[in-house]
Structure 1
Amino acid sequence: MQVQSYLFFDGRCEEALNFYQAALGAEVTALMRFKDAPPQPDHPSQEGCGPAQADPEKIMHASFKIGETQIMASDGMNGGKPDFKGFSLSIEAPNEAEAERLFTAISQGGAIQMPLGPTFFARSFGVTADRFGVGWMVIVPLPDIG
């Protein structure tokens, strides 16, 4: 069994994918726009998958990889105000230099909540929200703590 994150960017998905490619080296592995959805003659309310009809270029579904982790994303309802609450994505860096690079990149245009630095449980740890409001934790764990 596998559990994956599915992020809804409320109309900013393509911008987010481009940001994650530049900041984290993300690789987009699948992308389907609302205009790519087949007609639904038996269900007219699902024609073009509903709320995206106003902008068929918006992303209905995308998958991207950061390292070995697959994340899914969508523009969702396209309202323009993504709201990410109650979770954070965590990135384990191999060393402090890479943690600094990742933390700086993902924080660009966002809001640092806890600056990156040593803690009792990690060689380096920091918490930030990116420009879309997605929470991120970057950590270099201590050798004996996983």
Structure 2
Amino acid sequence: MSIRLNPYLIFDGNAREAIQFYEKALGGQVMGIMTFGDMPEDPDHPLTDDMKGRVMHAQLKVGDADLMFSDTYPGMPYQPGDTVQIAIHPKDEARAREIFAALADGGQVVLPLQKTDWSPLYGIVKDKFGVTFQVNVPGEQPQE
């Protein structure tokens, strides 16, 4: 069984600064930065100009490892020190559902598993030990 895990670092508006810092400090390479403003607009949840510029998702390649980054979304709590999550990338949806259910047992579902613009199945769960996991089935990768 093949599964990838990586740290996912959460910031409160300064993710871009952190990405640049870690890129230089660790000799990494930025693989991509997506802002909340890059996503299709939702009329039920309009974004401020400040929010549009916040990092929704970024990836920094450091050797063979990936560091991922995001800024918080308005209304989401931010507690310095509680800013590292673990991203899990199972290849199939059935395995993602098993992992999510196992982590949710005794824990708390933060965002139920659902289809997103970037994944056929994505959700966030905090386990009974207080560790937050993002379960993300990789979407179709564009052919080059």
TM-score, normalised relative to structure 2: 0.47
TM-score normalised according to structure 1 size: 0.47
- Which has a greater percent of strand? 2
